[in-house]
């Protein structure tokens, strides 16, 4: 796991200097504290520069140094991530190609795999998580690639005849002449989704490469983006004759995935909450090890929702070497300003804080590689809200949308004065023929934002319009499957995986995601919806696959998010801290209606459950603005 940076300039005047590229690269030392490298090359009128920070996980020798090239220097790469089946792929290459290898790295397998099979041919074979930049000296092209599910981030900007890219936005902001400006549309969407949907970011002119795509730029600056992996191509099938067939195949694929993610030349372990997903990771790893699994848990001081009892039960059952940490309000408050820097752009999930501290615990224990449970709830439909929305959509919403338009508009007009903000916005969307489901965790609905933001800062596209367009592009009729695919396009890569990447890498920790193995995901998407929610149980098929592997008491216990949610994490002290920072923010004064902000804090006292996430959303936003835009802000 590493940090990559680089550029392709169309002429000498646009090129970055080695000194600038070094400064940009070293904004990300936390992503790669073990080594750093540079490569700068003139090719006709154009100039290419590649930079790399290395976190050594596979082949710890100097032979893993990047940027790396093929033996003849025709292809150059900077690579962030891990290819878990690299040994099998290396064995598939002709002997004459294998003889050219100079290291035991997965990076070199990508280089020769691309030369042997072509870019898409190689990408079809890779099983891993990755973001990389490939420079082809022969044709003079730079290609940026992001893995199928978006486990690893990659940002880029095209300015003054120069394409520049990096693993983190902070590296791009170190470019000479970079002037940060807020992307109004991203800020607007963030208030709903708690993240900025790809390809936009919070910084005007800076984009993030979408999951499952690659972007190619030639020496004249012409860019072309191509999708090489599309989850919508996998549809439910009836080839398996029984539920047990699905269970057996799922178990096989999960064991394969966990085994793949144990490829490492350094110690590895598991973040353990005591839920089904993390417990299954522990169990499957324990099957393959002849030593105790390293497990890590975290809780919040004096919080009755802490899951230590379940994590300890699993740790004891599988005889793990278990580590725990407890964090308090002081830990939250001391870390929040730094979190705004580490995130690059706001990721309004309070889980970022415990992920940071549990990653710190793992690093201090000498375990730099960790398996996590992200993605399971999305691909196996593990949230109760998915099934509520699915049921409401089938029974009420779709039939209602088929009623005459004048009736829907009239009812929306009446509902404005009688219903909650959520129901008001549902009626508004129904009147416009827009979808019921926008995302699993919504902070502010579009109708709320019309009163929250000043008129001048309301962009042309609403968040429900964005999801409507996304849903139409999928071409999926099954409502539950469409919900899953919408989550795979937005919330999973740009919120859930982003929070894990940024907070773990801040501690130089590599996190691996077994449930998002490409083979697991492609199979999960073919499982009929009736097996994902059955007998009133979300994630039914995965729970059945887990039986006999982990204790039934873990499988059947009530689902609880990692460290809970904003409701329990936003203590009275944190709420007071948030109120002060939000109301004193120049961003709030410039763009928001103060009365609407103050009303949220009044409602927080009466309805904490419905307002805590709103407060957390706004707090992340103002801390980000303070860190990146105010005159008193300093970057580390």
What residues are annotated to the active site? 2
3-state class of 482 per DSSP? helix
**Whole-number Å distance between alpha carbons of 474 and 457:** 30
CA 54-57-60 angle, to 5 degrees, is 80
| Sequence-distant (≥ 6) Cβ neighbours of residue 610 within 8 angstroms | 603
Find, among 606, 619, 607, the residue nearest to 574 by Cα: 619
Q: Are the C-beta atoms of residues 217 and 141 closer than 8 Å to each other?
A: yes
Q: The tokens 């030392």 sit on which residue? A: 29
Give alpha helix (H) positions in 261-375: 276-288, 308-317, 329-343, 352-364
Find, among 193, 231, 194, 265, the residue nearest to 463 by Cα: 193
How many Cβ atoms from other residues are within 10 Å of residue 635's Cβ? 10
Q: Are the C-beta atoms of residues 296 and 271 closer than 8 Å to each other?
A: yes
3-state class of 158 per DSSP? strand
**Whole-number Å distance between alpha carbons of 412 and 373:** 41
**Whole-number Å distance between alpha carbons of 243 and 542:** 11
Phi-psi region of 326 (alpha: psi -120 to 50; beta: other; left: phi over 0): beta
**Whole-number Å distance between alpha carbons of 272 and 281:** 9
Tokens of 385: 């809200």
Tokens of 306: 């802490």
Tokens of 453: 């933001």
Q: Which residues pair with 324 in a beta bridge?
A: 297
Q: Are the C-beta atoms of residues 27 and 69 closer than 8 Å to each other?
A: no
Tokens of 501: 């990447």
How many Cβ atoms from other residues are within 10 Å of residue 539's Cβ? 25
Find, among 135, 16, 15, 156, the residue nearest to 66 by Cα: 135
> Most distant CA pair in the chain: distance in Å?
75
Q: The tokens 């070497």 sit on which residue? A: 321
Residue 538 dihedral angles phi and psi, to the nearest 5° = -65, 155
Tokens of 287: 């099957």
Q: Which residues pair with 163 in a beta bridge?
A: 8, 158
């Amino acid at each position: 796991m590493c940090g990559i940076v680089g550029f392709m300039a169309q002429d000498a005047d646009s090129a970055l200097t080695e000194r600038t590229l070094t400064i940009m690269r070293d904004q990300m030392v936390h992503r790669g504290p073990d080594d750093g490298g540079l490569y700068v090359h003139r090719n006709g009128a154009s100039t290419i520069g590649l930079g790399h920070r290395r976190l050594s996980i596979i082949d710890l020798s100097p032979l893993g140094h990047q940027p790396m090239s093929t033996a003849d220097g025709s292809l150059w790469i900077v690579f962030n991530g891990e290819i878990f089946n690299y040994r099998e792929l290396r064995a598939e290459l002709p002997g004459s190609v294998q003889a050219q290898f100079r290291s035991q790295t997965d990076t070199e397998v990508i280089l020769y795999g691309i030369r042997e099979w072509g870019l898409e041919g190689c990408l079809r074979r890779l099983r891993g998580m990755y973001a990389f930049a490939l420079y082809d000296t022969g044709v003079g092209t730079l290609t940026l690639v992001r893995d199928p599910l978006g486990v690893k981030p990659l940002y880029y900007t095209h300015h003054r005849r120069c394409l520049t890219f990096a693993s983190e936005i902070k590296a791009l902001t170190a470019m000479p002449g970079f002037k940060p400006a807020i992307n109004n549309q991203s800020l607007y969407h963030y208030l709903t989704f708690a993240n900025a949907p790809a390809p936009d970011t919070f910084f005007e002119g800076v984009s993030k490469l979408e999951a499952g795509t690659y972007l190619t730029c030639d020496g004249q600056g012409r860019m072309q983006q191509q999708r090489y992996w599309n989850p919508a191509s996998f549809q439910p099938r009836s080839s398996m004759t029984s539920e047990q067939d699905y269970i057996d195949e799922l178990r096989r694929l999960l064991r394969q995935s966990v085994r793949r993610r144990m490829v490492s030349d350094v110690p590895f372990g598991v973040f353990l909450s005591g839920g089904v997903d993390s417990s299954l990771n522990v169990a499957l790893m324990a099957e393959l090890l002849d030593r105790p699994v390293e497990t890590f848990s975290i809780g919040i001081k004096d919080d009755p929702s802490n899951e230590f009892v379940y994590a300890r039960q699993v740790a004891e059952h599988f005889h793990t070497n278990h580590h725990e940490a407890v964090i308090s309000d002081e830990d939250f408050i001391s870390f929040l300003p730094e979190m705004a820097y580490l995130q690059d752009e706001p990721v309004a999930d309070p889980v970022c804080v415990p992920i940071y501290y549990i990653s710190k615990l793992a690093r201090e224990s000498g375990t730099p590689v960790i398996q996590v449970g992200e993605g399971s709830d999305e691909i196996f439909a593990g949230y109760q809200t998915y099934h509520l929305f699915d049921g409401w959509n089938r029974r009420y919403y779709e039939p209602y949308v088929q009623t005459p338009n004048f009736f829907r508009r009239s009812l929306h007009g009446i509902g404005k004065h009688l219903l909650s903000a959520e129901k008001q916005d549902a009626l508004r969307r129904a009147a416009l023929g827009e979808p019921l489901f926008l995302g699993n965790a919504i902070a502010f609905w579009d109708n709320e934002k019309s009163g929250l933001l000043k008129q001048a800062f309301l962009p042309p596209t609403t968040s429900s319009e964005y999801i409507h367009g996304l849903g139409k592009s999928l071409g999926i009729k099954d409502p539950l499957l469409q919900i899953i695919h919408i989550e795979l396009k937005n919330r999973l890569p740009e919120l859930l995986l982003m929070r894990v990447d940024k907070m773990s890498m801040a501690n130089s920790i590599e996190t691996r995601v077994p449930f998002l193995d490409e083979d697991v995901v492609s199979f999960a998407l073919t499982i009929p919806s009736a097996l994902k929610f059955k007998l009133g149980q979300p994630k039914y098929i995965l729970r059945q696959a887990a039986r006999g592997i982990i204790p039934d008491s873990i499988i059947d216990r009530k689902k609880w998010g990692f460290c809970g949610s904003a409701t329990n994490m936003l203590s009275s002290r944190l709420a007071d801290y948030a109120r002060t920072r939000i109301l004193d923010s120049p961003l709030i004064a410039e763009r928001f209606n103060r009365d609407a902000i103050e009303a949220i804090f009044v409602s927080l006292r009466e309805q904490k459950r419905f307002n805590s996430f709103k407060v957390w959303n706004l707090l992340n936003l103002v801390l980000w603005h303070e860190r990146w835009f105010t005159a008193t802000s300093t970057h580390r």
